[in-house]
């Protein structure tokens, strides 16, 4: 079969996404059982950015599926600088069976997928974070079961996490409201793409409007990797977008709080919310492992 990549969620159909979530549920229920899905296969982790959850969950997941993992740091392969991205993709395709990449520029992710003859998984780019969004939807499904019609409120920067969450929610019929400061909203092209699916999309500059009646409240850091030079300015701009108990009073009483981590306690969210009874952030983090194992199985089923 022709190889499949996961560069963005739009490479999946809504039906395929739901099947992938079902597979993740099975994977999680048998987490202590060995699998031979990747026996004899070597997966390269090609990272331009440091990582905790993405790297560890993929390395552990690949091992649990019977495969071997090689970590390729920014110092070893500097895409587009030390060597042309197309040449890297073609070379690694001769050695590896798959690539998980974290890139500074999303174009590098596209180029890796275009020139590789092996599956490429987006472990994070400046535009999308599909593995995170799939784990997010899986985590929500564990709590609510029926996804259709749920309201998700994302408060903060319209970044890569926000973009993939927009697509994921819309694809499974959830409604999502994104509240960002003016000038920090999600990319219009991504919003328009999300609107082609069944879930309803609302973009606002008012966090109170977004959170009202929400079943899920989601946050991310205000200053991401690579944005450190504008950190002080961002902290000023986002000051009114902190998730705290006062803001959450208008959310559904049974809402859940989510964060992709790492969290900056006292900035985008208060510590009492992070550690509160509505928070599922560590279940969410654990689910990265199960969902990414499901992604690997799914892609390699199409690559036999």
| Contact assessment for residue 153 and residue 211, using Cβ atoms and an 8 Å cutoff | yes
Catalytic residue among 55, 102, 106, 259: 102
Which residue is catalytic, options 108, 111, 157, 220? Answer: 220
Give the DSSP letter string of the chain: -----BSSGGGS-HHHHHHHHHHHHHHHHTTTS---TTTT-EEEEEESS--SHHHHHHHHHHHHTT-EEEEE-TTT--BTTTB-HHHHHHHHHHH-SEEEEE-SSHHHHHHHHHH-SS-EEEEE-SS--HHHHHHHHHHHHHHHS--TT-EEEEES--SHHHHHHHHHHHHTT-EEEEE--TT-SPPHHHHHHHTTSSS-EEEES-HHHHHTT-SEEEE--SS-TT-GGGHHHHHHHTGGG-B-HHHHTTS-TT-EEEE-S---BTTTB-HHHHTSTTB-HHHHHHHHHHHHHHHHHHHHHTT-
Catalytic residue among 4, 55, 106, 129: 129
Catalytic residue, chosen from 55, 234, 288, 290, is 288
Would you call 275 a catalytic residue per the annotation?
no
Which candidate in 5, 108, 260, 292 is catalytic?
A: 260
Instruction: List the catalytic residue out of 48, 64, 132, 242.
Output: 132
Task: Examine the residue annotation and report whether 284 is marked as an active-site residue of this protein.
Answer: no
Q: What is d(CA 217, CA 245) in angstroms, rounded to the nearest whole number?
A: 12
Active site residue 260: yes
129 annotated active-site: yes
215 is catalytic: no
Does 69 qualify as catalytic in the annotation?
Answer: no
Instruction: Tell me how far apart the alpha carbons of residues 300 and 294 are, in angstroms, rounded to a whole number.
Output: 10
Q: In this structure, what is the dihedral angle of CA atoms 35, 20, 73, 107, given to the nearest 10 degrees?
A: 150
- Catalytic residue numbers? 102, 129, 132, 220, 260, 288
């Amino acid at each position: 079969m022709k190889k499949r990549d996961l560069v963005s969620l739009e490479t999946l159909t809504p039906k395929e996404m739901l099947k992938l979530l079902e597979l993740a549920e099975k994977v999680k229920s048998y987490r202590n059982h060995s699998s031979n899905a990747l026996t004899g296969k070597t997966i390269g982790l090609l990272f331009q950015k440091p990582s905790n959850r993405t790297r560890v969950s993929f390395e552990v997941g690949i091992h649990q599926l019977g495969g071997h993992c090689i970590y390729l740091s920014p110092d070893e392969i500097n895409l587009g600088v030390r060597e042309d991205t197309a040449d890297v993709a073609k070379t690694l395709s001769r050695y590896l069976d798959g690539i998980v990449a974290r890139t500074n520029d999303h174009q590098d992710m596209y180029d890796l997928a275009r020139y590789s003859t092996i599956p490429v998984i987006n472990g994070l780019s400046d535009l999308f974070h599909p593995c995170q969004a799939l784990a997010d939807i899986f985590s929500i499904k564990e709590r609510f079961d029926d996804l259709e019609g749920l309201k998700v409120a994302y408060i903060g920067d319209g970044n890569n996490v926000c973009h993939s969450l927009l697509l994921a929610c819309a694809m499974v019929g959830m409604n999502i409201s994104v509240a960002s400061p003016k000038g920090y909203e999600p990319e219009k092209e991504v919003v328009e793409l999300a609107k082609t699916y069944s879930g309803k999309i609302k973009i606002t500059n008012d966090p109170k409007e977004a959170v009202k009646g929400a079943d899920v409240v989601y946050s991310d850091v205000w200053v991401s990797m690579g944005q450190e030079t504008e950190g002080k300015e961002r902290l000023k701009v986002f000051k009114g977008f902190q998730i705290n108990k006062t803001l959450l009073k208008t959310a559904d009483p049974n809402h859940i709080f989510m964060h992709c981590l790492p969290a900056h306690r006292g900035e985008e969210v208060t510590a009492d919310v992070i550690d509160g009874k509505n928070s599922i952030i560590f279940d969410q983090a654990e689910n990265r492992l199960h969902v990414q194992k499901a992604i690997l199985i799914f892609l390699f089923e199409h690559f036999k």
